[in-house]
Amino acid sequence: MKGIFLFFLICYGLTMQASAQLVQGTLKVKEQSKVELVVKNGNAVNLYADFRADKYPILFSFSCVDVPLNDEKKEVVQFVFTTTVKRDGKVVGTAKRSPIPFFPGDMLMPTETFDFISVLSNLQTNAPDHTSEIPKGSYEITIEANAVGVKGRIQPATLLVKF
């Protein structure tokens, strides 16, 4: 009797695992998962202008398996976007957004999704004569998208900047 119960338990576990909700995808900047940015004169506003002019397009791409359909019969996955900014190897700031729903596919994302411009521009007091000035150093900015309630991984992107 224990053998039959164990058999059914294993079958049930395999069935549940086979129908597990899963996402996979990437975040890329300029079609790369790691990119060096060139910025004029170390001001956050210039970096922001470069992103707005599509010099560094951010592409978010993902697919999913077995995600329940919404009332419109479409797959929708919520993501939390997280940004970590390091200066000379030390974390100097982070940003995390509330969950945002997305359909699977490819999407160009605005830089505001990741808030790294505000993190960079607020690293110093920003007195009127230094507004948006970024302190000198080597910066590593990691942008991530984490699915809410769904297994899988979105490959993050890393931006390298020297000021």
Burial class of residue 98 (count of CB atoms within 10 Å of its CB; 0-12, 13-18, 19+): exposed
Mind listing the pLDDT tens digit for each residue in 125-161?
Answer: 656 777 788 888 999 999 999 999 999 999 999 999 9
Query: Is residue 84 included in any domain, yes or no?
Result: yes
* CATH number of the domain to which 67 belongs: 2.60.40
C-alpha separations of 86 from 14, 25, 27, 57, 119 in Å: 42, 24, 19, 21, 10
Query: Is residue 155 included in any domain, yes or no?
Result: yes
Mind listing the pLDDT tens digit for each residue in 36-65?
Answer: 998 878 889 999 999 999 999 999 999 999
The domain tally of the chain equals 1
